[in-house]
Structure 1
Amino acid sequence: MMLTALGLMSGTSLDGVDVALIETDGKQVKSFGPSGYRPYTNAERGLLRQALTEAVHLSHRDARPGILGEAERAVTLAHAEAVAAFIAQNRITPEEIDIVGFHGQTVLHRPERRLTVQIGDAPALAKAIHIPVMHDFRAADVEAGGQGAPLVPVYHRALVQSVPREGPTVVVNVGGVSNITYIDGTDTLIACDTGPGNALLDDYMFRVMSQPFDCDGRFAAQGRADEAWIARALELPFFALPPPKSLDRNDFAALRLGEVAPADGAATLTAFTAAAIARVVPLLPKVPKSWIVAGGGARNLTMLRMLRERVAPATVEAADALGWSADAIEAQAFGFLAVRGMKGLPLSYPATTGVPIPMTGGVIARP
Structure 2
Amino acid sequence: MSAPDSRAELFLGLISGTSADGIDAALVRFHGDGPHPRPELVCGRTFAWDCELRARLLALGQQAQALTLDEVGELDVRIGCAFASAADALIAAAGIARRAIVAIGSHGQTLRHRPQGEVPFTLQLGDAHVIAERCGLPVVADFRRRDVAAGGHGAPLVPAFHAATLHAPDEDRAVLNLGGIANLTLLPAHGTVRGFDTGPANGLMDAWCLRHTGQPFDADGAFAAQGRVDHALLTRLLAEPWFGAPPPKSTGRDQFHLDWVDAALAGDEAPADVQATLLVLTARTVADALRATQPRTRRVIVCGGGVHNPRLLAALAEALPEMRIESSAAHGLDPDFVEAMAFAWLAREHLARRPGNLPTVTGAAGPRILGALYPA
Equivalent residue, structure 1, for 2:300: 291
Aligned pair 1:273/2:282, yes or no?
yes
Measured in 1, the distance between the counterparts of 2:361 and 2:374 equals 27
Give the alignment partner of residue 231 of structure 2, picking from 227, 234, 238: 227
Report matched runs for 1:157-176 at 5 Å. Answer: 157-161=163-167, 164=168, 166-176=170-180
Equivalent residue, structure 1, for 2:19: 13
Distance 1:285 1:37, change over 3 A: closer
Distance 1:234 1:126, change over 3 A: same
Measure how far apart 1:167 and its partner are: 2.4
Aligned pair 1:133/2:142, yes or no?
no
Q: Which moved more, 1:340-349 or 1:22-31?
A: 22-31
Measured in 2, the distance between the counterparts of 1:283 and 1:347 equals 26
- Cα pair 2:178 2:201 within 8 Å, conserved: yes
Aligned pair 1:193/2:211, yes or no?
no
Aligned pair 1:335/2:341, yes or no?
no
- Cα pair 2:28 2:341 within 8 Å, conserved: yes
Q: Which AA in structure 2 matches 1:86? A: L
Aligned pair 1:366/2:375, yes or no?
yes
Give the alignment partner of residue 156 of structure 1, picking from 137, 156, 162: 162
Equivalent residue, structure 1, for 2:271: 262
Can you give the 5+ residue segments of structure 1 that lack an aligned partner in the other structure?
59-63
Measure how far apart 1:288 and its partner are: 1.2
Measure how far apart 1:255 and its partner are: 2.3
Q: Residue 91 of structure 2: SS of its match in structure 1?
A: helix
Measured in 2, the distance between the counterparts of 1:185 and 1:291 equals 13
Output one character per residue of 1:123-169: Cα deviation in whole Å (capped at 9) or x when no partner.
Answer: 111010001000000010001110000000011112214xx474211
- Cα pair 2:63 2:254 within 8 Å, conserved: no
Q: Residue 98 of structure 1: SS of its match in structure 2?
A: strand
Equivalent residue, structure 2, for 1:115: 121
Q: How many residues align?
A: 360
Measured in 1, the distance between the counterparts of 2:234 and 2:367 equals 36
Measured in 2, the distance between the counterparts of 1:43 and 1:186 equals 48
Output one character per residue of 1:23-53: Cα deviation in whole Å (capped at 9) or x when no partner.
Answer: 2243222422111121113212112124435
Measured in 2, the distance between the counterparts of 1:339 and 1:55 equals 37
Distance 1:267 1:190, change over 3 A: same
Give the alignment partner of residue 219 of structure 2, picking from 215, 220, 241: 215
Q: CA RMSD in A?
A: 1.9
Q: Which AA in structure 2 matches 1:155? A: F
Measure how far apart 1:208 and its partner are: 1.2
Measure how far apart 1:357 and its partner are: 1.1
Q: Residue 217 of structure 1: SS of its match in structure 2?
A: helix
Q: Residue 296 of structure 2: SS of its match in structure 1?
A: coil
Q: Which moved more, 1:142-151 or 1:309-318?
A: 309-318
Q: Which AA in structure 2 matches 1:208? A: H
Measure how far apart 1:55 and its partner are: 9.3
Equivalent residue, structure 2, for 1:90: 94
Measured in 1, the distance between the counterparts of 2:174 and 2:348 equals 24
- Cα pair 1:292 1:319 within 8 Å, conserved: yes
- Cα pair 1:3 1:98 within 8 Å, conserved: yes
Aligned pair 1:245/2:254, yes or no?
no
Q: Which moved more, 1:29-38 or 1:107-116?
A: 29-38
Q: Which AA in structure 1 matches 2:44? A: S
Distance 1:339 1:56, change over 3 A: farther
Distance 1:268 1:165, change over 3 A: farther
Measure how far apart 1:227 and its partner are: 2.5
Q: Which moved more, 1:151-160 or 1:253-262?
A: 253-262
* TM-score, structure 1 as length reference: 0.93
Measure how far apart 1:356 and its partner are: 1.5
Measure how far apart 1:2 and its partner are: 4.0
Q: Residue 368 of structure 2: SS of its match in structure 1?
A: coil
Q: Which AA in structure 2 matches 1:47? A: R
Q: Which AA in structure 1 matches 2:194? A: I
Aligned pair 1:321/2:327, yes or no?
no
